[in-house]
Amino acid sequence: MKHIFNVEGMTCAHCEKAVSKALLAIDAHAKIVIDRTVDFVEVLSDLPAEKFIQAIEDEGCRVVH
């Protein structure tokens, strides 16, 4: 299942890497695409979106619905 999130607060490569690492900690087999220049995060995983939203927000970013 494809989850697409608009994420505010990813301002640098370190933020992007931290979000990616947090998402992979939830599902090590997920396919992740992040483009911080347009606040875009895409996750391909069978897990529910809520798990990934929580992981992103735990890194200090905000998911805008």
pLDDT score, position 65 = 72
State how beta strands 2-8 and 40-44 pair: antiparallel
Q: Which residues form the domain of 30? A: 2-64
Per-residue pLDDT of the chain (65 residues; tens, 9 = 90+): 999 999 999 999 999 999 999 999 999 999 999 999 999 999 999 999 999 999 999 999 999 97
**CA–CA gap between residue 8 and residue 30 (Å, rounded):** 21
Structural domain total, the chain: 1
**CA–CA gap between residue 31 and residue 12 (Å, rounded):** 21
- CATH code (residue 14): 3.30.70.100
Question: Strand ranges (DSSP E) for 1-65?
Answer: 2-8, 31-35, 40-44, 62-64
Which residues have CB under 8 Å from 4's CB, separation 6+?
40, 41, 42
